[in-house]
Amino acid sequence: MNEEEKYRFDLNGYLVLEDVLGAEELAAVNSALDGHGLWEGENKHDFRLLKQYNPFIANAGPLHETERPVRDLLAHPKVLPYLEELLGADLRYDEGQVLFARKGAGALVLHNGNTPWEYPPLSYQVREGQIYAGHLIVAFCLTDALADQGGFAVVPGSHKSHFPMPDEYAAWEKTGDFVSRVPVKAGSVVLFADTATHGSWPWAADFERRVVFCRYTAGMVQHTSPAPVPEDTDFDDWTPVERRLLRPPFAWHQENDGGFKERQRTSVRTEEGWVMSEYAQQIIPSAEATARDAAEDIAGERG
């Protein structure tokens, strides 16, 4: 994340990353989603979770149970460096789905924001030049969503707001220039903090809107239950990085074995790409533990 990107993300609460998906990759993902049959009342891809809010918009998933190449997006190598910088190396994938929309879908209510502070672990903070975002959303745009077509709506700066949004604003009963249109080209990604107030403008284009949403948290945080894990599926082709992302939330583990050890699994980036590594940090035992261990050693020698 360069200094310009860091500035814009901290300023607005979102960032547009262009050309994340190449032409072939984009075509492959779209091809895998073609023929879903949702508008005809069918579910030809057998999505286990399906939310159809009205006849013109639907969320389908869960993403980690879909076939590749759709499933590939949850650990996309062009997005992982941003996620690690903003969430820490112990980040985890929390949930994901595919959004399908067609003309008539209407606006999605504006929701979330820094205030009220309902979910402290998902807050947005900056300390000594480091951004700490508890919950990030990555929107892979599979189709264009230009300014006159609708799509992503956001209230810039709301990830740091100190007052709740008025109800009439959230319901689009009263609007103004505080809500931004974010035009994107197919293949682009919108990376945004969940604490930024966001929603969707009414979809006005004649073609189907498609977006794959992937949500990520810090490793010890869970936003969605149950946590997605590889064991939910029959797939045996998970990569080490995907398995690292698809693990339940965790706490640091302590072992009383000559002192306390804290273990975490993190990802590191090498010349060969992203790999999983493990490390252990030795914690200095307390005086009581040292005295106890010494007494046990003496007792053992006498025995």
Check which CATH number belongs to the domain holding 216 and give it: 2.60.120.620
Higher pLDDT, 281 or 273: 273
Residue 203 has pLDDT above 50, yes or no: yes
The whole-number pLDDT of residue 118 equals 75
Residue 17 has pLDDT above 50, yes or no: yes
On whether both 233 and 258 belong to a single domain, the answer is no
Gap between the Cα atoms of 281 and 154, Å rounded: 41
Residue 206 in any domain: the answer is yes
* Three-state SS sequence of the chain: CCHHHHHHHHHHCEEEECCCCCHHHHHHHHHHHCCCCHHHCCCCCCCCEEEEEECCEEEEECHHHCCCCCHHHHHCCCCHHHHHHHHCCCCEEEEEEEEEECCCCCCEEEECCCCCCCCHHHCEEEECCEEEECEEEEEEECCCECCCCCEEEECCCHHHCCCCCCHHHHCCCCCCCCCEECCECCCCEEEEECCCCEEEECCCCCCCEEEEEEEEECCCCCCCCCCCCHHHCCCCCCCHHHHHHCCCCCCCEEEECCCEEEEEEEEEEECCEEEEEEEEEEECCCHHHHHHHHHHHHHHHHC
Residue 236 in any domain: the answer is yes
The whole-number pLDDT of residue 270 equals 54
The whole-number pLDDT of residue 264 equals 44
* Burial of 153 per CB tally in 10 Å (0-12, 13-18, 19+): buried
Higher pLDDT, 276 or 270: 270
Gap between the Cα atoms of 262 and 260, Å rounded: 7
Sheet containing strand 108-111, edge to edge, reads 108-111, 198-201, 151-154, 180-181
pLDDT in tens, 78-123: 999 999 999 988 899 999 999 999 999 989 999 999 988 877 777 8
On whether both 230 and 262 belong to a single domain, the answer is no
154-158, 236-240, 282-286, range with the lowest pLDDT: 282-286
Higher pLDDT, 263 or 17: 17
On whether both 119 and 43 belong to a single domain, the answer is yes
Average pLDDT (275-286) is: 39
Residue 276 has pLDDT above 80, yes or no: no
On whether both 31 and 158 belong to a single domain, the answer is yes
Residue 185 has pLDDT above 90, yes or no: yes
On whether both 262 and 156 belong to a single domain, the answer is no
On whether both 127 and 274 belong to a single domain, the answer is no
Question: What pLDDT band is residue 226 in, cutting at 50, 70 and 90?
Answer: confident
Mean pLDDT value across the chain: 85
Q: What percent of the chain has pLDDT over 70?
A: 83
Gap between the Cα atoms of 106 and 90, Å rounded: 37
Residue 232 in any domain: the answer is yes
Residue 283 has pLDDT above 50, yes or no: no
On whether both 229 and 81 belong to a single domain, the answer is yes
Question: What pLDDT band is residue 284 in, cutting at 50, 70 and 90?
Answer: very low
pTM value is 0.84
The whole-number pLDDT of residue 90 equals 84
Residue 217 has pLDDT above 90, yes or no: yes
* Burial of 23 per CB tally in 10 Å (0-12, 13-18, 19+): exposed
Average pLDDT (245-252) is: 80
pLDDT in tens, 129-173: 899 988 999 999 999 999 889 999 999 999 999 999 999 999 999
Domain end marker among 241, 271, 288 = 241
The whole-number pLDDT of residue 286 equals 42
On whether both 80 and 43 belong to a single domain, the answer is yes
pLDDT in tens, 20-34: 999 999 999 999 999
The whole-number pLDDT of residue 258 equals 52
Residue 276: give the domain boundaries. 253-302
